[in-house]
A and B are shown apart, each in its own frame.
Chain A
Amino acid sequence: MEHFFDCMGQGGFQLFFQQLVNGLAKGSIYSLIALGYTMVYGIVELINFAHGDIFMLGSFIALLLLNILGVTGLIQGGLLNIIAILLAVMFGTMLLTGLLGVAVERIAYKPLRGAPKLAPLISAIGMSFILQNVGQIWRGPAPISFPTIFKNQFYDVFGVRIGLKSLIVFFSCVIIMVGLTLFVQRSKVGKAMRATAQDYDTSSMMGINVNNTITLTFFIGTLLAGAAGLIYGVYIGSVQFVQGYQAGLKAFTAAVLGGIGNIPGAMFGGLIIGLVEAMSDQYGTCFGLGIQWTNAIVFAVLILILVFRPSGLFGTQVTEKA
């Protein structure tokens, strides 16, 4: 028992807060990916299994754009220069992954609208295989190092070492999510999306083009995955064709945890998954469960939460009806 407290107390509150920051940074990336799952699910009730792989291709596209701009290491010049290049790469990546998402929807999901519910699921799984294989052919099976674009400085806040990289990652994700929330809540198109998610027929009677709205939802959802792809590359420092599988699984878990179809739910779900992961990496050994158990712990937490809140943390209780 004493050993347990020693183990938990190791590193003190500094280490705890450091892990908190790490968890939030990684969790915010999960949130961005989870948003794509949740938006698509909210509108077409489909678990878009290809989403994780679009995120992976997002990383590769970002890498390609950086190469085109000639960035292979630290970006020279002032802060403005760094921001300009990063924004250019981010918008480029978002646009390209968004278009990729729309193409996937056109090819694999649109012909299956109105088919039995499990058919699009299988077609999504097939799409996931295709995209993963494309990534593998494109950049090979080995991990590829992502250029270190800016120097990672550390700030000492009450003894807690906080990296600039974590801060940039976390806040860029937050900014994107705030932007998305404003778009969905305030804009006319966002309203159309929410209406379509509720009821196809009624929204089309209100003059909403349901098909275009669905396409737009795919565009925005996958565009966020593209942004996540760039941010992930910057944060982790290397990208690989299988990254979409693990990250996608976690992000999907996050979306369900928050209540699938619910946008704030996906954001919080991602952060929670990131935090559970970071804490389990650090303190799992105290329970005799090393880093290799982290995945099992994440899913065990998910199952526990769902047992007590069957519709996720933010989801509304829906009665089973066919």
Chain B
Amino acid sequence: MSTAVPKSGALRKRTAPPNNTSGTPTGKRGTMFSRSLIMSGLLLLFVLIIPLIDLSSLGLYPAPLVSTLGDTGVYVILALGLNIVVGYAGLLDLGYAAFFAIGSYTYALLASPQFGIHLSFWLLIVIASLVAAFFGMLLGAPTLRLRGDYLAIVTLGFGEIVPTFFLNADSITGGTNGVSGVDTPILGIPGTTTGFNFSLGGTNPYPYYYLILAMVLVAIFVISRLRDSRIGRAWMAIREDELAAAAMGIDTVRTKLMAFAMGAAFSGFAGCVYSSKLGFIGPGQFDFNVSVFILCMIILGGVGTIRGVILGAVVLYMLQSYVLTRLPSWIHDFGVSTNIGFLKTTDFSGIRYLIYGVALVAMMIIRPEGLLPGERQKAELHPESLDQARRESNVELYDETVLDRQDPSTRGGQEG
């Protein structure tokens, strides 16, 4: 009987509450929490005022910059949604753009002259999310029992089929021409003149930017609540070990289906905002490259963590659509001002994808775990960081399995 006491003590330590996963010493938790709160507040203040700062002296003209920042927000929502599927539930999805397309087309078809239907943006944002979620479940239901990479190819196939459908079903979707003249959202009571038209996508990108920002905040709030909920913990349990999760009583198929549906819903949500801003939707906007682009964002930033995913989305989107498009002229201007001959004459616009590719490879080699990895992901690569956290905190981390699982010597046998 005497041995029972330390045993139960150890047990209690191991089942410490999940809010200790960050490896933060329990004693210091309060201060850390407030510090992250302050950081978030500063960040929020920054994104609120950034459109108001005049950076034109740096070659950053406010209107295009704010417009690009708005688009970045759409991709942040997309990345957060994909993170549910890939980061939390551990299901590789290579066709995420399909749901983005479904959401975009749902809005474009129900709020444009295409069929003469003009439903409210606020209603459609719910409908588009539900439609996308429905298709997520439709794809997931028969295929979620597939193992890792087989699921990936099925999602890839789905991602090819959906744009092909939108391209070829001309009578509904307008084929190659797409849908144009998509409505812009109106804040106010529909049907009355007391509305305030945002005039999105036009000359004034500011209202759109703040609308997107609000939506990003909603997405962050919902997803962080989801992550800490019962279903969120079930996702992560499945990601770590599906067999063990099933043994603990988690309905794996239903849980995975939920991940697919939730991920798709955010994609539909983003698609709705995106098509309203652009005012035009065509099938070419949702090909495989878009799926890959979003996947790169979440892995680059740090898969499975909200802050990492946001950072990845911002960095990659700005890199691709702002820096890379302007880089050739920057190099040219630099060449002119410093009078370096070949910089003035060479056209660098042809190597945009080369630079992009080099950036992806280099970032992965330098930080394979992403820019802002979570504790678990860090521990996969650097087990000593977990050891150190444990030593500092003097508390047993509840998540001991990370070390055993990631030992390559035990992995090879299982997966070969």
Contacts and interface: CB of A to CB of B under 8 A. Distances in A.
A, B in one complex: yes
A241 B85 CA distance: 33
B174 interface: no
A322 B160 contact: no
Contacts of A115: 364, 368-369, 381
A293 B168 contact: yes
Given A45-B415, A252-B153, A256-B153, A121 B299 contact: yes
Contacts of A307: 142-143
Interface in A90-109: 107-108
A129 B356 CA distance: 7
A130 B358 contact: yes
Nearest to A292: B168
Contacts of A45: 149, 415
A320 B416 CA distance: 12
A130 B357 contact: yes
Q: Tell which of B157, B356, B380, B411 has the most Cβ of chain A within 10 Å.
A: B157
B300 A123 contact: no
Contacts of A292: 164, 167-168
A122 B357 contact: no
A105 B146 CA distance: 28
B305 to A, nearest CB: 13
Interface string B150-168: 1011101110110011011
A116 B242 CA distance: 18
B123 to A, nearest CB: 31
Contact of A130 (B241, B299, B354, B365): B354
B192 to A, nearest CB: 44
Contacts of B210: none
A260 B92 CA distance: 16
Given A107-B361, A114-B408, A320-B242, A310 B147 contact: yes
A184 interface: no
A253 interface: yes
Interface in B65-93: 86, 92
Nearest to B295: A122
B412 A133 contact: no
Nearest to B252: A320
B165 A112 contact: no
Contacts, number: 170
B240 interface: yes
A60 B415 CA distance: 37
Interface in A217-249: 249
A118 B242 contact: no
B151 to A, nearest CB: 9
Contact of B154 (A200, A296, A306): A306
Given A125-B292, A292-B168, A320-B243, A116 B369 contact: yes
Interface in A122-173: 122-123, 125-134, 136-137
Interface string B261-302: 000000000000000000000000000100010011001100
A282 to B, nearest CB: 18
A137 B348 CA distance: 11
A292 B166 CA distance: 12
A47 B145 contact: no
B365 A256 contact: no
B160 A136 contact: no
B357 A199 contact: no
A310 B161 contact: no
B48 interface: no
B122 interface: no
B149 A123 contact: no
Given A249-B288, A295-B160, A320-B242, A128 B369 contact: no
Interface stretch (A8-16, A66-74, A81-89, A297-305): A297-305
A263 interface: no
Nearest to A49: B292
Given A116-B368, A303-B157, A133 B354 contact: yes
Nearest to A128: B357
Nearest to A115: B368
Given A132-B353, A199-B413, A320-B242, A112 B153 contact: no
Contacts of B292: 125
B317 to A, nearest CB: 15
A306 B303 contact: no
Contact of A129 (B158, B168, B353): B353
Given A118-B303, A307-B142, 15 more contacts: A41-B149, A45-B415, A112-B368, A114-B408, A116-B303, A116-B377, A119-B369, A126-B364, A127-B361, A253-B157, A260-B149, A296-B168, A311-B150, A312-B150, A320-B243
Q: Which 6 A-B pairs have the closest CB atoms?
A: A126-B360, A129-B357, A299-B157, A115-B368, A130-B357, A119-B368
Interface of B: 86, 92, 142-143, 145-150, 152-154, 156-158, 160-161, 164-165, 167-168, 240-243, 288, 292, 295-296, 299-300, 303, 350-354, 356-361, 364-365, 368-369, 377, 380-381, 405, 408-409, 411-416
25 contacts: A116-B369, A116-B381, A118-B86, A122-B300, A125-B296, A126-B358, A126-B361, A129-B357, A133-B352, A137-B354, A200-B412, A201-B412, A201-B413, A202-B412, A202-B413, A256-B149, A256-B153, A295-B160, A303-B154, A306-B150, A306-B154, A307-B143, A310-B145, A312-B150, A321-B242
